[in-house]
Structure 1
């Protein structure tokens, strides 16, 4: 299956070269010339990876990144820039980027980074939403239907792990490792915590969001997931 990317880049020659190369590798690429158009496309469409130049007109790459994370967009972002100082990289990661590639770069390295990022969702997203559930990962707040849900520290670690892979299934081993590392208790502790979390998140709601795949794991997804 081909990947879909969004390239936000104002250098038209570089953009054309990148798009041609990626399409030869079966990676579809939408293009935005400025930051505001990039935000618009990212909010309207689903992409596997966003390629974001830091020096674009309208709204620079840092501003684009920050806005998308505030909007709950968890698409991995690869920042492309000629700025290579530590301060520049810190600013990029603080804004919500997932990876950093300094110009000039080899096309093969870009391809490798894209394929690696496309296998996961970003951990930089600030707000995650599914159906009427909203999880603010920075403020440690959970709401469903506008009502605040109070989670224990263990339940919070569980929901974070489910969010990081949503809507994919998370294996029981991954959930156990998120809670206890390699020191997993010899009991049904995971089942107990999952049951309590499901009661708080789903309760009597008409749409269930926490789903168990027997023998496989657990997923957090909506009705269309």
Structure 2
């Protein structure tokens, strides 16, 4: 899942970004409204974690623009991160288009739990993903094939999770770069092939990920 983190606090922002990457999210971290708008013009995000008090404008205004400006690609979900704790502020944020509202200071565990909840709402799926003999638990970061638990790296886990949200559908290398890697990823697809090769090796035989010639890859629903 690709996350846009808009947070100008020089201490909090990098810590949250690192924590989310450790949770296998692809994170683009920016510190201003202008930088956020630049990325929202160029790419798509599953979730935006948005501070309201930004150095070059109010994040609330950006939320409003997302529904009006055709140049900006609205993230599938928006989570407000702010020190504004008044009820009126919370109501205004949700009415403006935010899907959730988290007041600072917050625990990282709660932020991670709220992101998992937003992902479930976005995909209309249960917390635990099941495809064929594969089972993936996002909350505990555990994966099983049959009765055997697999040891995956954060990137391998994120890639498999992306496939398991789209069983039976063809996924291109560009799709994987867009949603599993962040904006600083190598633009070439060799990195995708390397991680995919490692993932396939750990998944074992029969290989549940088929190569779709000229298109990309597909996770088989009944390998």
The alignment's TM-score, normalised by the length of structure 2, stands at 0.51
Deviations 1:62-87 (A, max 9, x none): 01111112236252100001111111
Deviations 1:103-134 (A, max 9, x none): 01111110011111123449xxxxxxxxxxxx
Residue aligned with 2:45, SS: coil
Residue 96 of structure 2 corresponds to: 95
Deviations 1:39-90 (A, max 9, x none): 2212211111100001012121101111112236252100001111111011
Contact kept, 8 Å, 2:7 with 2:30, in 1: the verdict is yes
Contact kept, 8 Å, 1:81 with 1:103, in 2: the verdict is yes
Aligned residue pairs total: 122
Contact kept, 8 Å, 2:81 with 2:103, in 1: the verdict is yes
Aligned positions of 1:142-181 closer than 5 A = none
Aligned positions of 1:109-148 closer than 5 A = 109-121=110-122
CA RMSD of aligned residues (A): 2.1
Contact kept, 8 Å, 1:39 with 1:68, in 2: the verdict is no
Structure with larger RCO (C-alpha < 8 A, sep 6+): 2
Residue 85 of structure 1 corresponds to: 86
Residue 42 of structure 1 corresponds to: 40
- Structure 2 unpaired stretches of 5+: 124-165, 167-223
After the TM superposition, which parts of structure 1 deviate over 6 Å for at least 4 consecutive aligned residues?
none
Contact kept, 8 Å, 1:38 with 1:64, in 2: the verdict is no
Residue 57 of structure 1 corresponds to: 55
Residue 108 of structure 2 corresponds to: 107
Q: Of the two, which has the highest radius of gyration?
A: 1
Measure the CA separation in 1 of the matches of 2:75 and 2:18.
26
Deviations 1:9-58 (A, max 9, x none): 11021111001111111011101111121122122111111000010121
Contact kept, 8 Å, 1:51 with 1:79, in 2: the verdict is yes
Contact kept, 8 Å, 1:76 with 1:120, in 2: the verdict is no
- Structure 1 unpaired stretches of 5+: 123-167, 169-225
Measure the CA separation in 2 of the matches of 1:102 and 1:43.
27
Residue aligned with 2:57, SS: coil
Residue aligned with 1:46, SS: coil
Measure the CA separation in 1 of the matches of 2:98 and 2:117.
14
